[in-house]
Amino acid sequence: MQYRNPLLLACLAGIASFLCLARGAESETRRGDTGAPEAWVSIQPAPDLSGWTRVAIPPTNRLGRAQWHTEAGSGVLVCDGDGGHEMLRWDRELRDCVFHVEFRYTPAMGTNRNYNSGIFIRNSADGVIWHQAQLTLDGGYLFGNTLTNGQAARFRLPPLEPRMKPVGEWNTMEVTARGKTLSVWFNGAVTCAWPDCAVPKGYLALEAEGYRIEFRNLKVRE
């Protein structure tokens, strides 16, 4: 039996824990910078929102007032949250890709604080077929209206771990489509993966669902 110095072991354990935390923090703050820099393409909307289209949810509804704009100077995309349920769709269809999004909510007044929005991937152009990473306080999971045996069918995966930061702070999420697998990376960890997506391509989009939310550093990597 080897002799082990308890103090030395405690020091080594502390160092190991610190390094793990440092790596975790780095993965959280630098996730969007991984891979070849030239592979990432910024899709942050211009002031006129060119290249993006509003789509009502469900698509049979009428669109409400214009509720999306970019802030002068910062270029942050803002959804006022008072124009009805809809998505803002990027107008290029993609197959395998990673969608990088940074977002934060504006603290709501009153008692209605169920903060709700979402990030879409592989949607149909009209939004009948959709796959959403949920941005509620317990979000980070996937659900949607997908194709199963050629028919539209609802699916939902349970949330694995709530990782939303306090309201008012910036969050980072990446939604990835690779083959039949859709996955969500949220504030430092993979929180959901679904291996049965039968829709091979589609559109990226952001959701408006009654709350003011800001988006920055939107980019995609194929």
Nearest to 175 by CA among 130, 209, 142, 214: 142
Cβ–Cβ < 8 Å for 107, 175: no
- Tokens matching residue 60: 């049979």
Q: Which of 137, 122, 221 is nearest to 187 (CA)?
A: 137
d(CA 103, CA 87): 15
pLDDT tens digits, 111-169: 667 899 999 999 999 999 999 999 999 999 999 999 999 899 999 998 888 899 999 99
Residue 221 CB contacts under 8 Å (≥ 6 apart), including other chains: 35, 39, 40, 41, 97, 98, 100
> Which DSSP letter does residue 129 get?
S
Q: Is the pLDDT score of 24 beyond 50?
A: no
CA neighbours closer than 13 Å in the CB half-sphere of residue 37: 1
pTM higher than 0.75: yes
pLDDT at residue 35 tops 70: no
Given this model, what pLDDT does residue 32 score?
A: 54
What does the angle CA 94 – CA 97 – CA 102 come to, to the nearest 5 degrees? Answer: 110
Residue with tokens 């002799």: 3
On whether the CB atoms of residues 220 and 100 are closer than 8 A, the answer is: yes
8 Cβ neighbours under 8 A, 6+ residues apart:
none
pLDDT digits (tens, 9 = 90+) for 69-88: 999 999 999 999 999 999 99
* CA separation for the pair 193, 178 (Å, rounded): 11
The one-letter amino acid code at 46 reads A
Residue 91 has φ and ψ, to the nearest 5°, of -90, 40
Domains and CATH numbers, the chain: 1-34 (no CATH), 36-221 (2.60.120.560)
In sequence order, what are the beta bridge partners of 78? 69, 214
Locate tokens 């993609």: which residue? 94
Categorize the per-residue pLDDT at 89 as very low, low, confident or very high, splitting at 50, 70 and 90.
very high
Say if residues 141 and 133 touch (Cβ distance below 8 Å): yes
